Amino acid sequence: MMPLLVRGMHGLGDNLHQRAVIRQLMRGHEVYLESSWVAPYHDLIADGLKVIHKATVLRTQAKNASREAGRFHRGGLPRFRRAVQVSYSPDQVRSQGSVLAAMCRVTGT
């Protein structure tokens, strides 16, 4: 499988929503997720997801990343041919009908 870098979002709620996007992407790629959260992905890590530390100045996320530092992927990183940014705007949420639908639209899932 081709490795894929997913640039995740920082908020816990966004991380919970983006789990569905990650699951879809894992069907065809070896996924490396940049995130400041590890715990929401424990089951997906068991299925092969690699969570790499995403630096942040946000207090809660930085505290969480520090607490879970040993749970982030520590191995080498492959050369990524493609990266996907998980994001959405208020206009996209309105036009798509939900945060998850907007994320899926942006990421092509």
Q: Do residues 50 and 75 lie in contact, with contact meaning Cβ atoms separated by under 8 Å?
A: yes
Compute the distance between CA of residue 10 and CA of residue 58 in angstroms, rounded to an integer. 8
Q: What is the pLDDT of residues 77-97, one digit of tens each?
A: 999 999 999 999 999 999 999
Element (H, E) at 79: none
Stated length of the chain:
109
Task: Please state the pTM of the whole predicted model.
Answer: 0.91
Q: What is the pLDDT of residues 7-38, one digit of tens each?
A: 999 899 999 999 999 999 999 999 999 999 99
Element (H, E) at 32: strand 29-35
Number of domains in the chain: 1
Q: Do residues 36 and 14 lie in contact, with contact meaning Cβ atoms separated by under 8 Å?
A: no
Domain that holds residue 63: 2-107
3-state class (DSSP) for residue 58: coil
